[in-house]
């Protein structure tokens, strides 16, 4: 205590103490009511809202990734389906072409057959005609030759005799 | 509550550390003061010119860091320019009020003046009831061997330099933080802006690094007190570093202020102390035969905490001010303008350090307040 009494610096001044107490208590209440309360509240609220926003963003991200996943899945499926359809179409096309080819072949072979048949018929007819003409011509020629040969009476006689001699009467 | 074990050891350590630190700084400071006073009296006996000047410098430094009834800007004696402040005295004859410049500036105690029928004498900026007769140095005072008047004093309720400075800092705090609070309301949910974004990290720092770790889940109730203390100490530390009006009033280096702040913490600690806290004091966890030793130690411990708070802030800020003033005074002691080439960079350096110290001391005061309150409200933990 002698130390405190010695030095004016370390002996608290009662006036300043009283004033500072009044001032500080007043400052404390004013700041608490008008500054700290709204500030601390606003800070807490903002923190909460930021946390909220972050959680929501996280959720949105998840949702988005889920959606993207789904989209991808859908795309994949669609692609698969498209491939399937294309494949089927190709098969169908091949089938159709094949069928058409077959049909054409059958048709053409049928036509060829018909043509051949016709040709054959025509050939036969033509041959017949030629045979007939040849027969007529040969008859004509034969007639003419015969007529020439039998213009002479003797020859006719000879022939008849010849023929009669050959005939054997049984 | 597995954290509280670390907490316990940490807080004991911190308390011990600061108690030791505060005591050592206090005692060395007191010793220096004693020496100063001793040399002062020696010098007065010898009465040589240079020594008188040195003594003057000591006086000037002490004058600069102590409270005053007016706010001196510059000049000395008849050329003194100062802002007069009201003097309010509660005397034997009732309330006496007058402006500090009503009577000629005389702090030597050699003139007696009368106000409202009450005669008074001013000695080193303090008002005393005068003695009836002069002493041998022409003062109406009776001085003891350490040159302190033994005369009675009226209760001095003056609006002194420190009180004005405190009002200025209060005004600043109110304007700054109420405007910030308004910004918070106006820009609800938006990012901070301007002054708000400058101080928001500090507020968050007090909340997240001071209040929450020390006070746990009950931190919210003590936030207003901690924030008020922190910003009050900080702004006054900073204002004290400004050499010109409205700064330079060494408010947080005044023991009355630090005592008041420490008492606020002490009162909060005491009224919030729970069963567990008082149990530690009156039923410490030691064998019963140690009670006669431990209980007084624990009770002393209750009071050393606010005393440590008081002395630490006071000594740190005052030491900073004395250091800066002493470095500047070197120029006048060595009587060479070239000393300024060394002294001024040093002063600048110390000033920058003081800026940091101003923040650190405000932080330490706040965190220790939080720690002491935290100890008082800590729930029971099985040891």
ipTM field: 0.81
8 A C-beta contact, residue B152 and residue B112: no
pLDDT tops 90 at residue A23: yes
B335 and B252 both lie in a single domain:
yes
B303, part of any domain: yes
Per-residue model confidence as pLDDT tens digits over B36-63: 444 444 444 434 445 566 667 888 888 8
**Tokens found for residue A108:** 């053409």
Confidence of residue B140 (pLDDT cuts 50, 70, 90): confident
Angle at B230 between CA B357 and CA B350, to 5 degrees: 15
Alpha helices in B191-283 (DSSP H): 195-205, 212-215, 223-241, 255-272, 275-282
B129, part of any domain: yes
B308 and B170 both lie in a single domain:
yes
Higher pLDDT, B109 or B160: B160
Q: Domain end: B158, B183, B211, which one?
A: B158
B219 and B347 both lie in a single domain:
yes
For residues B382 and B141, what is the distance between their CA atoms, to the nearest angstrom?
62
B73, part of any domain: no
Task: Note the pLDDT of residue B383.
Answer: 54
| Residue A15 touches chain B, beta carbons under 8 Å | yes
Q: Please state the rounded mean pLDDT for residues A34-62.
A: 92
Q: Domain end: B130, B158, B186, which one?
A: B158
Chain A nearest C-alpha distance from B270 (Å): 17
Cβ-defined contact of B178 to A17 (cutoff 8 Å): no
B329 and B341 both lie in a single domain:
yes
Set of chain B residues whose Cβ sits within 8 Å of the Cβ of A31? 173-174, 177, 224, 227-228
Set of chain A residues whose Cβ sits within 8 Å of the Cβ of B172? none
Higher pLDDT, B146 or A138: A138
Cβ-defined contact of A42 to B62 (cutoff 8 Å): no
What kind and span of H or E run contains B127?
strand B126-128
Alpha helices in B242-338 (DSSP H): 255-272, 275-282, 291-334
Cβ-defined contact of B163 to A45 (cutoff 8 Å): no
Cβ-defined contact of B318 to A5 (cutoff 8 Å): no
The CA-based dihedral angle spanning residues B83, B86, B92, B95, taken in that order and rounded to the nearest 10 degrees: 170
pLDDT tops 90 at residue B8: no
B51, part of any domain: no
For residues B84 and B72, what is the distance between their CA atoms, to the nearest angstrom?
8
CB-nearest to A31 from B146, B173, B256 is: B173
For residues B140 and B154, what is the distance between their CA atoms, to the nearest angstrom?
16
For residues B190 and B15, what is the distance between their CA atoms, to the nearest angstrom?
41
B261 and B289 both lie in a single domain:
yes
B48, part of any domain: no
B146 and B173 both lie in a single domain:
no
| Residue A54 touches chain B, beta carbons under 8 Å | no
Burial profile A46-69: b = 16 or more Cβ within 10 angstroms, e = fewer: beeeeeeeeeeeeeeeeeeeeeee
| Residue A67 touches chain B, beta carbons under 8 Å | no
Cβ-defined contact of B204 to A9 (cutoff 8 Å): no
Cβ-defined contact of B155 to A45 (cutoff 8 Å): no
Largest Cα–Cα separation, chain B:
73
Set of chain B residues whose Cβ sits within 8 Å of the Cβ of A7? 30, 33-34, 37
CA separation, residue A13 to residues A16, A114, B138, B177 (Å): 6, 141, 27, 29
**Tokens found for residue B243:** 């050499």
Domain count, chain B: 2
Looking at the DSSP assignment, which residues form a beta bridge with residue B166?
none
Chain B nearest C-alpha distance from A64 (Å): 26
pLDDT tops 50 at residue B306: yes
B81, part of any domain: no
Per-residue model confidence as pLDDT tens digits over B119-137: 888 888 888 888 888 887 7
B266, part of any domain: yes
Chain A nearest C-alpha distance from B382 (Å): 33
Confidence of residue B266 (pLDDT cuts 50, 70, 90): very high
CB-nearest to B224 from A6, A17, A28 is: A28
Give percent of chain B with pLDDT exceeding 70.
85
CB-nearest to A10 from B162, B232, B255 is: B255
B154 and B217 both lie in a single domain:
no
B238 and B327 both lie in a single domain:
yes
Per-residue model confidence as pLDDT tens digits over B181-198: 999 888 877 788 888 889
B96 and B229 both lie in a single domain:
no
Confidence of residue B226 (pLDDT cuts 50, 70, 90): very high
Q: Domain end: B158, B182, B204, which one?
A: B158
Is omega for the bond preceding B246 within 30 degrees of 0, making it cis? yes
B133 and B274 both lie in a single domain:
no
B229 and B248 both lie in a single domain:
yes
B13, part of any domain: yes
Domain that holds residue B22: 9-31+162-377
Question: Which residue matches tokens 């692609």?
Answer: A79
8 A C-beta contact, residue B240 and residue B252: yes
Cβ-defined contact of A36 to B256 (cutoff 8 Å): no
Task: Note the pLDDT of residue B289.
Answer: 87
B139 and B242 both lie in a single domain:
no
């Amino acid at each position: 205590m002698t130390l405190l009494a010695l030095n004016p610096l370390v002996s608290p001044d009662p006036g300043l103490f009283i004033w500072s107490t009044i001032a500080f208590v007043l400052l404390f209440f004013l700041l608490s009511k008008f500054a700290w309360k709204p500030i601390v509240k606003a800070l807490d609220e903002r923190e909460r809202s930021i946390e909220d926003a972050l959680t929501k963003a996280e959720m949105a991200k998840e949702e988005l990734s889920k959606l993207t996943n789904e989209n991808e899945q859908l795309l994949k499926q669609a692609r698969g389906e498209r491939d399937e359809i294309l494949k089927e179409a190709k098969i169908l096309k091949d089938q159709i072409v094949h069928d058409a080819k077959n049909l054409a072949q059958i048709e053409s072979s049928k036509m060829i057959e018909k043509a051949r048949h016709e040709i054959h018929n025509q050939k036969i007819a033509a041959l017949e005609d030629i045979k007939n003409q040849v027969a007529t011509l040969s008859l004509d020629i034969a007639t003419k030759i015969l007529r020439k040969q039998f213009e002479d009476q003797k020859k006719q006689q000879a022939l008849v005799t010849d023929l009669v001699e050959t005939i054997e009467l049984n | 509550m597995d954290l509280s074990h670390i907490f316990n050891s940490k807080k004991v350590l911190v308390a011990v550390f600061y108690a030791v630190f505060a005591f050592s700084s206090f005692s060395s400071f007191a010793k220096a003061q004693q020496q100063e006073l001793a040399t002062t009296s020696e010098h007065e006996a010898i009465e040589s010119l240079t020594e008188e000047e040195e003594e003057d410098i000591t006086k000037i430094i002490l004058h600069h860091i102590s409270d005053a009834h007016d706010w001196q800007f510059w000049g000395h004696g008849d050329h003194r320019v100062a802002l007069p402040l009201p003097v309010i005295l509660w005397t034997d004859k009732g309330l006496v009020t007058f402006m500090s410049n009503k009577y000629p500036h005389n702090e030597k105690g050699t003139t007696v003046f009368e106000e409202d029928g009450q005669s008074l004498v001013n000695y080193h900026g303090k008002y005393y009831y005068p003695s009836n007769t002069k002493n041998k140095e022409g003062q109406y005072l009776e001085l003891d061997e350490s040159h302190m008047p033994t005369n009675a004093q009226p209760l001095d309720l003056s609006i002194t330099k420190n009180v004005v400075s405190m009002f200025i800092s209060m005004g600043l705090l109110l304007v700054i933080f109420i405007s910030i609070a308004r910004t918070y309301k106006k820009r609800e949910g938006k990012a901070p802006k301007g002054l708000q974004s400058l101080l928001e990290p500090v507020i968050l720092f007090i909340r997240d690094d001071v209040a929450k770790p020390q006070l746990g889940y009950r931190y919210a109730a003590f936030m207003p007190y901690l924030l008020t203390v922190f910003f009050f100490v900080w702004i006054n530390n900073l204002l004290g570093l400004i050499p010109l009006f409205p700064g330079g009033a060494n408010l947080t280096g005044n023991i009355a202020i630090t005592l008041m702040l420490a008492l606020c913490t002490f009162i909060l600690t005491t009224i919030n102390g729970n069963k567990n806290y008082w149990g530690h004091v009156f039923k410490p966890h030691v064998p019963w035969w140690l009670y006669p030793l431990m209980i007084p130690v624990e009770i002393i411990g209750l009071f050393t905490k606010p005393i440590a708070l008081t002395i630490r802030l006071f000594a740190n800020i005052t030491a900073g001010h004395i250091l800066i003033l002493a470095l500047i005074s070197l120029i006048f002691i060595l009587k060479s303008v070239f000393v300024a080439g060394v002294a001024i960079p040093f002063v600048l350096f110390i000033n920058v350090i003081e800026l940091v110290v101003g923040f650190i001391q405000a932080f330490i005061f706040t965190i220790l307040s939080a720690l002491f309150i935290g100890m008082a409200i800590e729930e029971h933990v099985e040891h």
